[in-house]
Amino acid sequence: MTVRTAGARGRANGKRGEARVFAWPEDPAQVSVTDIDFEALAHVLANCCRRGGHMRHYHSLAAHAVIVSEEIEALDGLEGEDRRTLALHALIAGTASAWFRGVAPLDGEGAGSARAADRIARLATGIEAAVREAAGLDPVLDEERAELLRLVDRMAAAAESRDLLEDGAPGAGIAFPPLKRRIRPLPPDKAAEAWLKRFRALGGRTDRAAPAKSAPAADKGSGNPDAGDA
């Protein structure tokens, strides 16, 4: 992510009306912790539809992440700081997708080749570690907590199948207990806003300065911002 694109408009910095310059996700092999731009990530994730767009109703990666994060925070048995950090882990899980959407297969390999898949998986692992560190989290999530995130993610996906896919559509069958909450489409701009609002409420930084270490829970309200119905 070495090139900063000046054409995008986002949150104004400095003078009123000045364009916010985003550092868009670019080369997945050149991801620097200090260059990760969480506002740019929010917009990319909000403009990427779940299931590769194979849905009649639009549902973004950003909106899905907000749902999983909120559900993690609502679980019983998690202590204050553990609750906050795990909810933040849930929000940024899968952000590596931002580096691969619309990108041609690597090394000239076919999209379905084992070599390309292995290379992408290795790059994604490195990206996810860098994103966690940039968010002020430990770069590696322990397996027990990772399994909890996977469980809630599958429940959210099942609710998505129930609420946003037509009967008979690929993946429409619910093979896992869904969340009780209803999943409703959220426009990309609203999804990006909800993602960033939650990121900040959980203690995430968007200034792309040196990564901050996790602060005590008393200083970082866990928050449960209104992200709409998505």
**Domains in the chain: ranges and CATH:** 33-219 (1.10.3210.10)
Cα–Cα distance, 203 to 101 (Å, whole number): 27
**Choice among 137-146, 186-195, 220-229 with the minimum mean pLDDT:** 220-229
Percent share of the chain, pLDDT over 90: 53
Closest CA to 56 of 155, 163, 157: 163
Structure tokens at 91: 């929000």
- Band (pLDDT 50/70/90 cuts) for residue 113 is confident
What is the per-residue pLDDT for 100?
Answer: 86
Query: 3-state DSSP call for residue 22?
Result: strand
By the 10 Å C-beta count (0-12 exposed, 13-18 middle, 19+ buried), 25 is classed as: buried
What is the per-residue pLDDT for 13?
Answer: 44
Cα–Cα distance, 18 to 66 (Å, whole number): 28
- Band (pLDDT 50/70/90 cuts) for residue 10 is very low
Task: Decide if 85 contacts 222 (C-beta within 8 A).
Answer: no
Tokens 């093979």 belong to residue: 175
Task: Decide if 26 contacts 2 (C-beta within 8 A).
Answer: yes
- Band (pLDDT 50/70/90 cuts) for residue 165 is confident
What is the per-residue pLDDT for 79?
Answer: 84
- The rounded mean pLDDT for the chain is 79
Averaged pLDDT, 24-35: 89
Cα–Cα distance, 38 to 46 (Å, whole number): 12
Averaged pLDDT, 18-45: 89
How many Å is the Cα radius of gyration of the chain? 17
Averaged pLDDT, 128-149: 93
Task: Say how many residues make up the chain.
Answer: 230
Please tell me which residue, 7 or 29, carries the higher pLDDT value.
29
What is the per-residue pLDDT for 176?
Answer: 84
Averaged pLDDT, 7-35: 70
* Total H helices, total E strands in the chain: 6, 0
Could you tell me the CA-to-CA distances from 180 to 116, 139, 142, 194 in Å, in that order? 38, 31, 27, 20
Q: Taking 70 as the threshold, does the pLDDT of residue 206 lie above it?
A: no
Can you say how many angstroms the Cα of residue 55 is from the centroid of all Cα atoms in its chain? 19
Tokens 């590596």 belong to residue: 96
